[in-house]
């Protein structure tokens, strides 16, 4: 009987040990698996280097899946530490978006740089109930100075639908962006010019914008300090010429509908609907393509040597449509639509040679809806020329062309009445008045003089000039 009792005691003791071990394992498992004791450090989302003008708050985010217990934000400059913000949150929300309010430094302390230190503790009971912590240090560069942005030289007159040339100086050790704006609606890129810190741009007053408000040079640095400088222009609005055009069923059935089909668009059966869809919806799509192709190529345009002389009209060709005609379209004596004509139409013999009169690089060759088979050549500084309605094209995208090269032949592709060349000039993808670029006097006064005046100023009034026009 004693032996039996002893065994029972032993079994009870072993059972107790197992229970304790089970409890220990359970507690350990609870500690490791319970969200209350999770061990992942909070995440801090903030830039590694921050430019700060002490005007606007710095935005940052802290995150923890199980909530934030507290945070502390400090500015550190050597041994000097300034607490910017601290808070006990105990938030169950996984993410907190914070804004660091600029500190007010005393008049004897004007730091130019420092460290933004972000400390975060989460709601976990891990680490002896202290929670998981994370620290992130970001370099702060304090920059309260706005960029220098001056107009060096610009063309005298800007016409609606016409072009203008601007040379500027921009300086800032932390420069981020710079551009020209028209009415705060259109943005024009600037290209490096002559020496570091100097830039040039060809701009336009788009013909479809009636009111001229302002042309501004804008420069922005990494700390978002901005300088806006007005570019002075005398202006001249465009005088519209109305051209009434009658549309026939034959034209719509044989031309408009075919153009829609070739452009992979649905073709309405109704005559008026088909024409309007071609003239409005497809036209807008085609104009956007021209703009997008040109804008996309601006970085490459900066690499193309700008050697533009006066453009030359097509040889032995009559002009039968001008830039800026406001075309009103009629069907059965009722006006059904209207549109700008944004180039010049030249016609001589069928399939006449198309000759390039300024060097450049081909950036587009394709079927372009109402424009038909089209070529676009980039001449540098965002200036392009467009050749539409061609019957054949001899060049490919990426080809370099020089003055005198034949690039194709005239034709009647697209939405046209007959064989001719639609010649257009583009400023950063916007069709502008070709008459200016065909005018030797305009080139001398606006392009050559503006550039030469700028070079003299940049070089300290030296006698060095650049011959742009013959």
What pLDDT does 468 receive?
44
pLDDT tens for 310-320 read 999 999 999 98
Query: What's the chain's length in residues?
Result: 470
Q: Dihedrals φ, ψ of 283, to 5°?
A: -60, -45
DSSP-derived 3-state class of residue 169: strand
3-state secondary structure 240-297: CEEEEEECCHHHHHHHHHHHHHHCCCCCCCCHHHHHHHHHHHHHHHHHHHHHHHHHHC
Chain centroid offset of residue 30 CA: 54
What pLDDT does 388 receive?
97
- DSSP calls for 66-100: T-EEEEEEEEEETTEEEEEEEEE----SSEEEEEE
DSSP-derived 3-state class of residue 209: coil
Chain centroid offset of residue 86 CA: 39
Within a 10 A sphere around the Cβ of 172, how many other Cβ atoms? 21
Sign of the torsion formed by the C-alpha atoms of 201, 205, 188 and 154: positive
What pLDDT does 106 receive?
84
What pLDDT does 107 receive?
83
Q: What are the residues whose beta carbons fall under 8 Å from the beta carbon of 374, sequence distance 6 or more?
A: 364, 365, 366, 367, 368, 386, 387, 388, 389, 390, 414
- Report in angstroms the alpha-carbon separations of 19 from 24, 226, 448: 8, 72, 96
Q: Which residues of the chain fall below pLDDT 70?
A: 1-37, 91-93, 461-470
Give per-residue burial for 396-405: e unless 16+ CB within 10 Å, then b. eeebebeeeb
- Tell me if 100 sits within 8 A of 58, measured CB to CB: yes
- Distance CA(412)–CA(422), nearest Å, equals 10
Give per-residue burial for 290-305: e unless 16+ CB within 10 Å, then b. beebbbebbeebeebe
- The model's pTM is 0.86
Q: Are strands 215-221 and 175-182 parallel, antiparallel or unpaired?
A: antiparallel
Question: Nearest to residue 96, comparing CAs of 134, 64, 123?
Answer: 64
Within a 10 A sphere around the Cβ of 50, how many other Cβ atoms? 18
Within a 10 A sphere around the Cβ of 35, how many other Cβ atoms? 10
Long-range contacts of 431-434 (CB under 8 A, 24+ apart): 431/287, 431/290, 431/323, 431/342, 431/343, 431/386, 432/161, 432/162, 432/163, 432/204, 432/207, 433/159, 433/161, 433/162, 433/163, 433/207, 433/323, 433/324, 434/311, 434/323, 434/343, 434/344
- Beta-ladder partners of 177: 220
Q: What is the DSSP letter of 213?
A: -
- Tell me if 227 sits within 8 A of 199, measured CB to CB: no
What pLDDT does 463 receive?
45
What pLDDT does 108 receive?
86
């Amino acid at each position: 009987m004693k032996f039996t009792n002893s065994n029972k005691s032993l079994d009870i003791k072993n059972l107790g040990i197992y229970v304790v071990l089970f409890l220990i394992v359970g507690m350990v498992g609870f500690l490791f698996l319970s969200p209350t004791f999770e061990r992942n450090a909070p995440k801090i989302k903030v830039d590694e280097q921050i430019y700060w003008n002490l005007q606007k708050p710095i935005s940052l985010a802290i995150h923890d899946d199980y909530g934030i217990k507290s945070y502390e934000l400090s500015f550190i400059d050597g041994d000097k530490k300034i607490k910017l913000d601290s808070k006990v949150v105990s938030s169950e929300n996984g993410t907190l978006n914070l804004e660091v309010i600029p500190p007010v430094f005393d008049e004897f302390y004007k730091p130019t740089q420092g460290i933004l230190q972000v400390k975060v503790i989460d709601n976990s009971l891990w680490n002896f109930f202290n929670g998981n912590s994370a620290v992130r240090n970001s370099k702060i560069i304090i920059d309260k100075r706005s960029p220098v942005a001056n107009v060096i030289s610009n063309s005298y007159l800007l016409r609606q639908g016409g072009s203008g040339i601007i040379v500027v100086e921009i300086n800032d050790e932390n420069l981020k962006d710079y551009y020209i704006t028209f009415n705060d609606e259109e943005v024009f890129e600037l290209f490096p010019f002559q020496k570091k810190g100097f830039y040039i741009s060809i701009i336009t007053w788009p013909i479809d914008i009636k009111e001229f408000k302002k042309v501004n040079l804008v420069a922005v640095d990494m700390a978002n300090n901005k300088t806006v400088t007005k570019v002075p222009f005398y202006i001249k609005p465009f005088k519209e010429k109305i051209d009434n055009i009658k549309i026939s069923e034959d034209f719509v059935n044989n031309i408009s509908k075919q153009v829609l089909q070739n452009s992979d668009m649905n073709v309405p059966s109704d005559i008026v609907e088909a024409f309007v869809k071609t003239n409005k919806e497809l036209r807008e799509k085609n104009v956007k393509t021209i703009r997008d192709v040109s804008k996309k190529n601006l970085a490459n345009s900066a690499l193309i040597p700008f050697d533009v002389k006066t453009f030359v009209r097509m040889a032995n060709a009559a002009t039968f449509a001008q830039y800026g005609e406001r075309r009103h379209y009629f069907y059965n004596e009722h006006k059904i639509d209207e549109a700008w004509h944004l180039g010049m139409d030249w016609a001589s013999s069928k399939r006449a040679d198309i000759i390039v009169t300024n060097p450049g690089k081909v950036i587009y060759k394709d079927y372009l809806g109402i424009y038909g088979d089209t070529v676009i050549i980039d001449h540098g500084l965002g200036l392009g020329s467009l050749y539409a309605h061609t019957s054949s094209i001899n060049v490919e995208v990426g080809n370099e062309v020089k003055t005198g090269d034949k690039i194709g032949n005239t034709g009647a592709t697209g939405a046209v009445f007959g064989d001719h060349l639609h010649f257009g000039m583009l400023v950063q993808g916007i069709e502008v008045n070709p008459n200016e670029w065909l005018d030797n006097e305009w080139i001398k006064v606006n392009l050559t003089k503006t550039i030469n005046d700028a070079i003299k100023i940049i070089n300290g009034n030296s006698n060095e000039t650049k011959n742009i026009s013959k």
